[in-house]
Chain A
Amino acid sequence: EVQLVESGGGLVKPGGSLRLSCAASGFIFSDYSMNWVRQAPGKGLEWVASIGGSSTYIYYADSVKGRFTISRDNAKSSLYLQMNSPRAEDTAVYYCARLGYTSSWYHFDYWGQGTLVTVSS
């Protein structure tokens, strides 16, 4: 059974730092690209970042570029999001999601339960 479990959320001060983790199980982690998606309170879904299976590619939303860093450790089946200099507008539930593929069609097929990040002084 595929499972994604996020951790590391909490209260962080503006300008501080926080690292989110996503522990994966039930599939060959290195075979899949992974993603972070966030949802501010009462708002819609916002894609944050993506990383290829061997970290061969990395993409960021403009809203986090230069402040957040996505990374992975395939030996540990883990995905990370390093959040530096967070702002109040980064307050959200952060989900990790697997990029599934079926016959070359891509989709976010498995999601974690999310971890809440609150940026406040």
Chain B
Amino acid sequence: IQLTQSPSSLSASVGDRVTITCRASQGIRSELAWYQQKSGKAPKLLIYAASTLQSGVPSRFSGSGSGTDFSLTISSLQPEDFATYYCQQVNSYPRTFGQGTKVEIK
């Protein structure tokens, strides 16, 4: 199963609403997770089951979708949110990741 994220990168300002999409090459129900990775650090789980917020993750992050189309939204971008975001499917093996979306400061 291939995952295609868009855009590959984006520039946004603090306070902006940002949406990243992830499209699966075949249906994966809601078996999708989102991760945030900051430079030089390990990925951090944000959302699983497409829309369930991991404990401790700020509520400005939200996820939606099922089947083949998914999205991650940051309702009001904060300085600490500038990072690269990855989707991952856990429906089947191989456990593929999207190519990543880099969120940069405008």
Contacts and interface: CB of A to CB of B under 8 A. Distances in A.
A28 interface: no
Contacts, number: 65
A107 B93 contact: no
Residues of A in contact with B, size category? 20 to 34
B45 to A, nearest CB: 5
For the complex of A and B, list the 4 residue pairs with the smallest distance between their C-beta atoms, beginning with the closest: A107-B48, A105-B49, A111-B42, A47-B95
Contacts of A61: 94
B66 to A, nearest CB: 12
Interface residues of B, number: 25
B73 interface: no
A48 B23 CA distance: 21
Interface string B36-76: 01000111110011001010000000000000000000000
Given A47-B94, A102-B48, A109-B45, 4 more contacts: A50-B93, A106-B90, A107-B90, A108-B88
B31 interface: yes
B82 interface: no
A26 interface: no
Interface of B: 30-31, 33, 35, 37, 41-45, 48-49, 52, 54, 86, 88, 90, 93-100
A112 B35 CA distance: 14
Contact of A45 (B31, B44, B94, B97): B97
Interface in A47-62: 47, 50, 59, 61-62
B100 A105 contact: no
Contacts of A106: 31, 48, 90
